[in-house]
């Protein structure tokens, strides 16, 4: 409990830093937004008009005060309006979030069902043909950029075989397939290696030999002991993959026209729509930090040794 | 493990052979990239609309793009942009990360805590998300994309350098050197750097492939190289809508990225096996 509170308190400076950084970055870029907006009207703009426009948006106040009021608004769910669509940033962000989460969950699910069995097979048949084959596939998967995979999948599955729609018109099981496969290929390639390493490590321990000596079936040792011991590593991997997924989805979402926050961000970047970019960066960071915290805390539920170690320290 | 051990006789011959073969492959790739302008059969920027979207043929082995530019020449020249900027990026973050990490590890104290908090912060952002934001802030251009990736990627190196420095600092020979009155600069250069070289080299080598993909990814999103500059990511992005009708325009640069990443990863894995036989 003490640990949980400590970690939660430790989150506060990080969250503050994240908001400060996202605010600062966009303010650096955003200083010319007023000018751009005015010049876009095609009229000659005087310095006074420029100043008035800046004052109207509160851009003439000191940086820290601007940050304070921005943070205050943020806490009330107000992130300003998009420069392009004029819609509320927070609303459009929340509107797109479910699609991204759906994609994330689908690709993590695929990653789990690909990487864990393959990693275990690879470890159990170490240096046999299956192991070499799986490691070869993992190497290839690791060397493929996801936009290339997307386009190849599109070419083969949509254009040649006509299995899936090229562009997802709606959020459905069929339309999520290709983006999820794309993301899962890269992640599985990375994680099956680590599952393999963890399982190998565990298989080398004495209790495995002991169980073998006592005549326990290998499959029982594998599923009851090894898998349980590997759970912590696997959970960590999954949590970490959420971080890389959140970033990785941007490109894939843009390619497959998947209507999530990643595509929203890419569109916003192309249009220099800073409030949206700001919201995107900040929310992704917050989700990422939170997921990491939850993972850390979940270890303690899964592995009593960590709990005991901490108790000894306190 | 020190540099001298890299090619010592006792090393596993297979690992040595791997390193030699993959180094040759990487060198071939590098030479191709450096001399791309002299190797390409056609001018990669010369437009000829009469031969736009030609299928791969004997003279244009990868076909031509929307402006009739020879794809093979463009892929070669694009490789120059992609490979050289990736290497520059990895070199910069390796050097910067190492300097920061060594200083933090060696001195400790306030600087160390501050820098480590900054690196925590960098690591708190999912990598590409932050790079996207920085690149959006800086605007397009290969240089800016490199800067964006450098800003988010250096903490990894400074962490490795810092932890290695911390453990090296505790060794008897460094302690002896301190007692003998050597200045910190001398200790760092003579004792610490040679001994942390291995893990940093491994990190850097394994990172080249990833960085190449991320850089190409930024370009793909329009945040890296700007047209008409040939660069693999942006070439794929530009040809994207032609996937159905002229797949070679899209797939050949992608294949080039794949091949280069494979070559760099092969060397990276071999270097890792050499320094850390346990991981193999």
CA distance B124 to chain A (A): 6
User: Are B236 and A151 inside 8 Å of each other by CB?
Assistant: yes
User: Cα torsion for B119, B125, B129, B134, to the nearest 10°?
Assistant: -40
The top-scoring range by mean pLDDT among A56-60, A113-117, B113-117 is A113-117
Between A208 and A44, the more confident residue is A208
Residue recorded with tokens 């940093």: B200
The verdict on a CB contact (< 8 Å) between A280 and B220 is no
Q: Between residues B164 and A47, which one has the greater pLDDT? A: B164
Least Cα distance to A130 among A113, A112, A118 occurs for A118
Higher pLDDT, B221 or B58: B221
In a domain, B87, yes or no: yes
**Structural contact between residues A53 and A40, judged by C-beta atoms closer than 8 angstroms:** no
Output A33 or B32, whichever has higher pLDDT.
Answer: B32
CB contact under 8 A, A277 and B133: yes
Q: Report the CATH number of the A89-313 domain.
A: 1.10.3720.10
Give the separation between CA B149 and CA B88, rounded to whole angstroms: 11
Q: Mean of the per-residue pLDDT values for chain A?
A: 81
| Higher pLDDT among residues A179 and A40, named by residue | A179
pLDDT at position A31 is 52
Report the sign of the C-alpha dihedral through residues A264, A266, A269, A270, in that order.
negative
Per-residue pLDDT at B202 exceeds 80: yes
Assess whether pLDDT exceeds 60 at residue B157: yes
Q: Is B60 left (phi over 0), alpha (psi -120 to 50) or beta?
A: beta
How many CA atoms does the CB half-sphere of A178 hold within 13 Å?
29
Distance from CA of A215 to the nearest CA of B (A): 30
Nearest to A143 among B124, B233, B261 (CB): B261
Q: For the ranges A34-38, A272-276, B150-154, which has the lowest average pLDDT?
A: A34-38
Average pLDDT over residues B48-72: 74
**pLDDT reported for residue B195:** 87
Structure tokens at A115: 């990487």
- Top residue of B132, B153, B207, B211 to mutate, by most chain A CBs within 10 Å, is B132
Domain membership flag for residue B265: yes
Enumerate chain B positions whose Cβ falls within 8 A of a Cβ in A: 117, 120-121, 124-137, 209, 213, 216-217, 220-223, 233, 236-237, 240, 243-244, 247, 250-251, 254-255, 257-258, 261-262, 265, 269
SS3 B227: coil
The more confidently predicted of residues A67 and B209 is B209
Q: How far is CA B191 from CA A95, A310, B106, B110, B172, in A?
A: 56, 36, 12, 24, 11
- Nearest Cβ partner of A281 from B121, B130, B236? B130
Chain B residues with CB-CB distance to A269 below 8 A: 132, 135-136, 221-223
The partner residue sitting opposite A152, judged by closest CB among B136, B251, B265, is B251
Residue B22 or B3, more confident = B22
* Interchain CB distance below 8 Å, B217 and A146: yes
Structure tokens at B85: 């900027």
> What's the pLDDT at A122?
92
Confidence of residue B2 (pLDDT cuts 50, 70, 90): very low
Domain count of the fold of chain B: 1
Most confident of A2-16, A47-61, A93-107: A93-107
Residue A219: pLDDT over 80: yes
The domain of B239 spans 9-39+60-279
Secondary structure, 3-state, A82-106: CCCCCCEHHHHHHHHHHHHHHHHHH
Rank A58-67, B116-125, B254-263 by mean pLDDT and report only the highest.
B254-263
Residue B3 has pLDDT above 50, yes or no: no
Output Rg (C-alpha) for chain B, integer angstroms: 22
Q: Other CB atoms closer than 10 Å to residue B111's CB: what's the count?
A: 12
The more confidently predicted of residues B148 and B51 is: B148
Residue positions counted in chain A = 314
Q: What is the pLDDT of residue A312?
A: 66
Around A182, how many Cα atoms within 13 Å sit in the side-chain half-sphere? 29
Buried (b) or exposed (e) across A102-126, using 16+ Cβ within 10 A? bbbebbbebbbebbbebbbbbbbee
Tens digit of each residue's pLDDT (9 = 90 or more) over A144-196: 988 889 888 888 888 888 777 766 666 677 788 888 999 999 889 988 888 89
Is there a contact between A147 and B220 if contact means CB atoms under 8 Å apart? yes
Other C-beta atoms within 10 Å of A234: how many?
20
Note the pLDDT of residue A44.
Answer: 67
Q: Half-sphere exposure (CA, 13 Å, Cβ side) for B203? A: 22
Burial class of residue B4 in the structure, from the number of CB atoms within 10 Å of its CB (0-12 exposed, 13-18 middle, 19+ buried): exposed
Flag whether B48 is in a domain.
Answer: no
Please measure the distance between the N-terminal and C-terminal CA atoms of chain B and give it in whole angstroms: 16
- Whether the predicted pLDDT of A213 surpasses 80: yes
State residue B100's pLDDT score.
92
In the Cβ-directed half-sphere of A286, how many Cα atoms lie within 13 Å?
A: 13
pLDDT confidence of residue B92 = 94
- Is pLDDT above 50 for B96? yes
B138 falls within a domain: yes
The answer to whether residue B4 scores a pLDDT higher than 90 is no
C-alpha B271/C-alpha B268 separation (Å) is: 5
Residue B23, pLDDT score: 92
Residues B251, A266: C-beta atoms closer than 8 Å: no
- Residues A72-93, mean pLDDT to the nearest whole number: 79
Task: Collect all residues of chain A within an 8 Å Cβ-Cβ radius of residue B221.
Answer: 250-251, 254, 266, 269
* Beta carbons of B132 and A250 less than 8 Å apart: yes
State the Cα torsion B169-B171-B172-B177 to the nearest 10°.
-30
Q: Which residues of A touch B257 (CB under 8 A)?
A: 145, 148
pLDDT at A104 over 80: yes
**Which of A50-59, B135-144, B167-176 reaches the highest mean pLDDT?**
B167-176
Nearest to B124 among A14, A142, A250 (CB): A14
Q: How far apart are CA B26 and CA B20, in angstroms?
A: 10
Percent of the residues in chain A that have a pLDDT greater than 70, as a whole number: 86
Q: Which residue of B has its CA nearest to A243?
A: B126
CA A137 to chain centroid, in Å, comes to 24
Contact B210, B187 (CB under 8 A): no
Q: What is the pLDDT of residue A310?
A: 64
| Three-class DSSP category at B108 | coil
pLDDT of B8 over the 80 cut: no
Alpha-carbon Rg of chain A, whole angstroms? 25
| pLDDT tens-digit series, residues B208-263 | 998 999 889 888 888 877 777 888 888 888 877 777 778 888 888 889 999 999 99
Distance in angstroms (rounded) separating the CA atoms of residues B165 and B160? 8
Give the 3-state secondary structure percentages of chain B, helix then strand then coil, rounded to 5: 75, 0, 20
Per-residue CA distances from A292 to A89, A286, B43, B180 (Å) = 26, 10, 50, 45
ipTM for the complex shown: 0.82
d(CA A250, CA A99): 12
Instruction: Evaluate whether residue B16 is within a structural domain.
Output: yes
Nearest residue to B41 (alpha-carbon basis) of B64, B70, B62, B82: B70
| Contact indicator for A92, A82 with CB cutoff of 8 Å | yes
- Band of residue A39 on the pLDDT scale cut at 50, 70, 90: low
Question: In which residue are the tokens 């959006």 written?
Answer: B136
Instruction: Find the closest chain A residue to B250 by CA distance.
Output: A151
Taking a C-beta distance cutoff of 8 angstroms, is the pair B44, B75 a contact? no
Mean pLDDT of the region B181-191: 88
Domain annotation covers residue B1: no
List, for residues A222-278, the tens digit of each pLDDT value: 888 888 878 877 777 777 777 667 766 888 888 888 888 888 888 888 777 778 888
Identify the residue with better confidence: A314 or A91: A91
Average pLDDT of chain B, as a whole number: 83
Return the pLDDT at A275. Answer: 81
Of A28-32, B137-141, B178-182, give the range with the top mean pLDDT.
B178-182
CATH of the domain at B170: 1.10.3720.10
Kindly list the residues from chain B whose CB atom is less than 8 angstroms away from the CB atom of residue A187.
none
Q: What was the pLDDT predicted at B1?
A: 42
Domain ranges of chain A: 2-75, 89-313
pLDDT of A36 above 70: no
Q: Which helix H or strand E contains B229, and what residues bound it?
A: none
């Amino acid at each position: 409990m003490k640990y949980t509170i400590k970690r939660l308190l430790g989150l506060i400076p990080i969250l503050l830093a994240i908001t400060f950084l996202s605010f600062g970055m966009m303010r650096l870029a955003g200083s010319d937004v007023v000018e751009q907006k005015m010049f876009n009207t095609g009229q000659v703009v005087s310095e006074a008009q420029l100043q008035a426009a800046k004052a109207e948006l509160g851009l003439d106040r000191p940086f820290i005060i601007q940050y304070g009021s921005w943070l205050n608004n943020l806490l009330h769910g107000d992130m300003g309006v998009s420069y392009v669509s004029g819609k509320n940033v927070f609303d459009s962000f929340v509107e797109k979030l479910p699609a991204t989460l759906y994609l994330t969950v689908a690709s993590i699910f695929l990653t789990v069902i690909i990487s864990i069995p393959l990693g275990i097979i690879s470890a159990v048949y170490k240096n046999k043909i299956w192991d070499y084959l799986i490691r070869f596939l993992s190497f290839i998967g690791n060397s493929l950029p996801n936009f290339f995979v997307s386009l190849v999948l599109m070419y083969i599955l949509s254009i040649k075989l006509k299995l899936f729609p090229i562009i997802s018109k709606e959020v459905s099981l069929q339309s999520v397939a290709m983006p999820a496969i794309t993301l899962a290929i890269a992640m599985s390639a990375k994680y099956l290696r680590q599952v393999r390493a963890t399982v190998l490590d565990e298989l080398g321990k004495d209790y495995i030999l002991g169980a073998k000596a006592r005549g326990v079936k290998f499959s029982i040792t594998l599923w009851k002991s090894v898998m349980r011991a590997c759970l912590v590593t696997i959970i960590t991997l999954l949590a970490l993959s959420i971080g890389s997924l959140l970033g990785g989805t941007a490109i894939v979402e843009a390619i497959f026209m998947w209507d999530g926050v990643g595509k929203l961000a890419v569109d916003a970047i192309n249009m220099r729509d800073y409030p949206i970019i700001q919201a995107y960066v900040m929310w992704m960071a917050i989700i990422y930090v939170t997921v990491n915290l939850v993972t850390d805390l979940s270890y303690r539920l899964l592995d009593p040794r960590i709990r005991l170690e901490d108790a000894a320290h306190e | 493990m020190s540099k001298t051990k890299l090619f010592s006789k006792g090393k596993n011959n297979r690992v040595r052979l791997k390193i030699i073969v993959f180094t040759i492959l990487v060198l071939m790739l590098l030479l191709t990239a450096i001399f791309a302008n002299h190797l390409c059969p056609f001018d990669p920027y010369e437009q000829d609309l009469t031969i736009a979207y030609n299928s791969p043929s004997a003279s244009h082995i990868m076909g031509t793009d929307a402006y009739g530019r020879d794809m093979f020449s463009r892929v070669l020249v694009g490789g120059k942009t992609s490979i050289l900027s990736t290497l520059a990026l990895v070199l910069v973050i390796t050097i910067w990360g190492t300097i920061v990490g060594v200083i933090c590890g060696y001195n400790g104290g306030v600087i160390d805590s501050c820098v480590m908090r900054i690196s925590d912060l960098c690591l708190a952002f999912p990598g590409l998300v932050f790079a996207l934001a920085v690149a959006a802030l800086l605007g397009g251009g290969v240089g800016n994309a490199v800067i964006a990736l450098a800003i988010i990627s250096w903490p990894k190196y400074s962490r490795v350098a810092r932890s290695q420095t911390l453990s090296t600092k505790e060794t008897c020979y460094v302690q002896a050197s301190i007692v003998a009155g050597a200045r910190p600069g001398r200790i760092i250069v003579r004792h610490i750097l040679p001994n942390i070289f291995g893990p940093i080299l491994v990190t850097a080598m394994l990172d080249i492939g990833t960085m190449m993909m991320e850089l190409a990814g930024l370009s793909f999103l329009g945040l890296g190289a700007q047209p008409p500059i040939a660069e693999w990511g942006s070439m794929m992005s530009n040809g994207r809508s032609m996937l159905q009708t002229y797949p070679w325009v899209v797939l050949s640069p992608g294949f080039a990225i794949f091949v280069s990443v494979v070559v760099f990863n092969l060397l990276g894995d071999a270097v890792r096996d050499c320094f850390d036989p346990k991981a193999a």
